[in-house]
Chain A
């Protein structure tokens, strides 16, 4: 039945049966998905299942690893720290990216090209390289302290602190905020603002009541991407932060690689993965609700 709508050409009506079997649109194209699905099953789903399995079975079957995780105050502090860090990174990125993305939409083609380039270059540059650059900038005799010193401030210890981690992560993750914001904002009809103004709204009111709500899908996509990336960040906090202020990814690394506690590492992994999925589900629900409000 579904195959019929694929048969638009009259030339093939004589060989209907064979054509239908050969035509893309039948069941056969589904086979094309198989190789990717198999690779995914073996090298992605299976490893994740192993992590979950070890959380419940290693060293003994049961919920021991989870009671350990939620029983240690240190672990809960790590979890809170991970959350607050991700939250700060998301908020600062949003505050810096929103005007930037907006400027990209009102700029002339040449300036817009430059602004786009400034986002895309760091986006494409290796995370390891950029984190290394932050190690140099934040070190105690680093550029930032030299500049502050010239104004008679500091020196501040920035490396091995949570402030340093947040500064670095904001810069590393900002492209993920700017790009979705720009994608949504460039689709907003700019004549809406003068229209609102002509009806008597002040510029700030027009912006807040007309433009901002329309840009919300970009805001939520950007915030979600930055937030979940920040939750699972490993390299940057490991190199810029202090081991005593570790984020959850670092603790997982230590449990498995240093202490060989696969079960405990697995339990932390399950918690981190669960939180990430919960954030995504939350956003999906709120977007659907917002969509219903707009449409109905």
Chain B
């Protein structure tokens, strides 16, 4: 429910309000020391566990022993030589890109409709669209599996795209709705009074102004699809599976460090994305 709204705010508020440093607990030196000590430990605890996979991916031995005692890049070579891994990666990227397009289009349209329409049942519609965030993954997964068996969508690209799209919809709608609410409608009226049609107004006035919301929605949609495991586990086939599904199978079946190479590449990709996004948000805030 409130998972992504604070997320979007977090980097922004951090830039906008330089606050006076008046620590409350920390008035005593002991209290302040405790607070920062705990904070440091928790910070490390959040980040360090993820990092162990990076050295592991360069191990020289075919085991998941940590720390490795010899080094090589053979697991990366193995990843790109094994069609099971590369086709899983390709499927994941393809599905995630398609989901980004479909979910962003559907979610943005729906957010526009929800903020502007004056009809009955809007609250119910909005609630329904946020519901995929709270329904337990496995429950949706078995239902989707059963429906896909009937519709013959198991193991198809279209099946993956649609299953992931409904999961990504709320993550598009929340940021887009937020940016639409903080939007001055008189700008649209001004454009219309100058003779712009509704499509021109939307394209040249509304869209550029809500673009940050749409962009963060698109990023959410991509990541939601790229990370999805539970539903994908059910709707995969031996011929079409996504990268997380391949990783899951690899962890349960074998001790093959190729998975560490795959994990490291995902971490590098994610980190780059987050840093770039944060950089742009910071720059935009400074410009304002």
Binding site for B on A (CB under 8 A): 2-3, 8-9, 11-12, 22-37, 39-40, 42-51, 54, 96-97, 99-100, 102-106, 108-109, 112-137, 139, 141-143, 171, 174-176, 179-180, 182-183, 186, 190-191, 193-194, 197, 203-204, 206-207, 211, 221, 224-225, 228, 231-232, 234-235, 238-239, 249, 252-253, 256-257, 262, 265-266, 269, 272-273, 276-277, 280
A232 and B189 contacting across the interface, CB-CB below 8 Å: no
Within the assembled complex, what's the spacing in Å between the Cα atoms of A128 and B249?
11
A100 and B193 contacting across the interface, CB-CB below 8 Å: no
Within the assembled complex, what's the spacing in Å between the Cα atoms of A262 and B166?
23
**A51-B113 contact given A109-B15, A124-B223, A171-B46, CB 8 Å threshold:** no
**What would be 21 A-B contacts, judged by CB atoms less than 8 Å apart?**
A24-B116, A32-B117, A44-B132, A50-B143, A54-B146, A102-B35, A103-B35, A117-B278, A118-B43, A125-B270, A126-B270, A129-B267, A133-B49, A136-B56, A136-B64, A197-B27, A221-B2, A234-B229, A256-B145, A269-B143, A272-B139
Task: Indicate if B101 sits at the interface (CB-CB under 8 A).
Answer: no
**A253-B138 contact given A43-B162, A51-B143, CB 8 Å threshold:** yes
Contact of A232 among B110, B125, B139, B223 (CB under 8 A): B139
**A191-B52 contact given A33-B110, A103-B36, A239-B252, CB 8 Å threshold:** no
Contact of B50 among A113, A115, A129, A232 (CB under 8 A): A129
Q: Which of B117-148 contact A (CB under 8 A)?
A: 117-119, 122, 125, 128-129, 131-132, 134-140, 142-147
- Residues in chain A near residue B209, CB distance under 8 A: none
The interface size of chain B toward A, counting residues with CB under 8 Å, comes to 109
Contact of B128 among A45, A108, A224, A234 (CB under 8 A): A45
A37 and B110 contacting across the interface, CB-CB below 8 Å: yes
Shortest CB distance B255–A (Å): 10
Secondary structure dominating the interface of A: helix
- Residues in chain B near residue A221, CB distance under 8 A: 1-2
Contact of B107 among A36, A134, A171 (CB under 8 A): A36
Within the assembled complex, what's the spacing in Å between the Cα atoms of A112 and B165?
34
Contact of A266 among B65, B142, B169 (CB under 8 A): B142
Interface contacts beyond A9-B189, A124-B223, A128-B244: sample of 11 additional A-B pairs, CB < 8 Å, sorted by A? A30-B119, A99-B42, A104-B14, A106-B21, A109-B15, A122-B46, A126-B263, A128-B229, A131-B251, A132-B251, A273-B135
Shortest CB distance A281–B (Å): 11
A43 and B144 contacting across the interface, CB-CB below 8 Å: yes
Nearest-CB residue, chain A, relative to B132: A44
- Residues in chain B near residue A30, CB distance under 8 A: 113, 117, 119, 122
Q: Which of B160-183 contact A (CB under 8 A)?
A: 162-163, 165-166, 169, 173
Nearest-CB residue, chain A, relative to B202: A24
**A127-B113 contact given A51-B142, A176-B3, CB 8 Å threshold:** no
**A37-B128 contact given A30-B113, A228-B134, CB 8 Å threshold:** yes
B25 and A249 contacting across the interface, CB-CB below 8 Å: no
Within the assembled complex, what's the spacing in Å between the Cα atoms of A182 and B3?
12
Nearest-CB residue, chain A, relative to B188: A24
Within the assembled complex, what's the spacing in Å between the Cα atoms of A134 and B117?
47
- Residues in chain A near residue B5, CB distance under 8 A: 183
Within the assembled complex, what's the spacing in Å between the Cα atoms of A133 and B52?
6
B138 and A232 contacting across the interface, CB-CB below 8 Å: yes
Within the assembled complex, what's the spacing in Å between the Cα atoms of A167 and B282?
34
B47 and A122 contacting across the interface, CB-CB below 8 Å: yes
Shortest CB distance B253–A (Å): 12
- Residues in chain B near residue A39, CB distance under 8 A: 106, 162, 165-166, 169
- Residues in chain B near residue A134, CB distance under 8 A: 49
B137 and A249 contacting across the interface, CB-CB below 8 Å: yes
Nearest-CB residue, chain B, relative to A172: B49
B227 and A126 contacting across the interface, CB-CB below 8 Å: yes
Shortest CB distance A220–B (Å): 10
A100 and B43 contacting across the interface, CB-CB below 8 Å: yes
- Residues in chain A near residue B50, CB distance under 8 A: 121-122, 125, 129-130, 133
- Residues in chain B near residue A228, CB distance under 8 A: 134, 136
Shortest CB distance B215–A (Å): 15
Most buried by A among B36, B113, B193, B230: B113
- Residues in chain A near residue B136, CB distance under 8 A: 228, 231-232, 249, 269, 272-273, 276
A203 and B21 contacting across the interface, CB-CB below 8 Å: no
Task: Indicate if B29 sits at the interface (CB-CB under 8 A).
Answer: no
Task: Indicate if B81 sits at the interface (CB-CB under 8 A).
Answer: no
Shortest CB distance B114–A (Å): 6
A269 and B142 contacting across the interface, CB-CB below 8 Å: yes
Nearest-CB residue, chain A, relative to B169: A36
Nearest-CB residue, chain A, relative to B54: A133
Nearest-CB residue, chain A, relative to B5: A183
Within the assembled complex, what's the spacing in Å between the Cα atoms of A153 and B182?
56
